[in-house]
Amino acid sequence: CRSSRMASPTKFEGIYDFTHKGGTFDVHLRPGGCFFAPQFQATSTWYVTQDDDKITHLRIDWAKFGKYDLKQISDTTSFEGSFVGDAKNWRKMALKAPFSVAEAKLLDSTWDFQHAGGSFLVEFRADSFNHFVCNDFPAHSHWSLTGHKLLINWGGHGDYELELDESGDSMSGHLKGQPENWRKASRKGALADNVASSAVFAECH
């Protein structure tokens, strides 16, 4: 993502309740203007603007799921609006929780991933698909985080379950279903913007 970095203020980043007439689900406003919806994934962006009346608008480009324009409610982290061009097709968003320290440090980061035979670098991309990247053992892969429980779906290399430390600097776990087949990782740092914004596995989505 990161196409609208200057127009996506950090104060709006976090996990939101996204509501429409059919129900409510989670969406994420991520750093660099990346919009992520776990249940409805598509290459998506967000940014904010101000109109002539100094009202802040949240603009979402959700690819196949449409474009949305939502107005900030006073000076809060809640928004109301609609599908662009269809005012009756309403949407609402309200901040559910800011990113935890650990989750914020996981987004667009690089790690030293360790096992009994050695170690190598991996990346946790904060794009619209939660891509997991390993140049040494490539596969179309993804990650997900629930609380501090991290799951890596590494294609043909297996699924891994790890516990992310609350500091966001380390994790430990194992190959799913094989506790003795351990894995550990330590955070090396944040991905450079030009790396984080580069597309990976674009042909798969």
* pLDDT per position as a tens digit, 146-195: 999 999 999 999 999 999 999 999 999 999 999 999 999 999 999 988 78
| Closest of 144, 65, 153 to residue 106, by C-alpha | 144
Q: How would residue 205 be classed by pLDDT, with cut points 50, 70 and 90?
A: confident
Predicted pLDDT at 15: 98
pLDDT in tens, 41-92: 999 999 999 899 989 999 999 999 999 999 999 989 999 999 999 999 999 9
**Taking the model in full, what pTM does it have?**
0.92
User: If DSSP states are collapsed to H, E and C, what string results for 11-66?
Assistant: HHCEEEEEEECCEEEEEEEEHHHEEECCCCCCCCEEEEEECCCCCEEEEEECHHHC
Encode pLDDT of 27-54 as tens digits. 999 999 999 999 999 999 999 998 999 8
Band (pLDDT 50/70/90 cuts) for residue 14 is very high
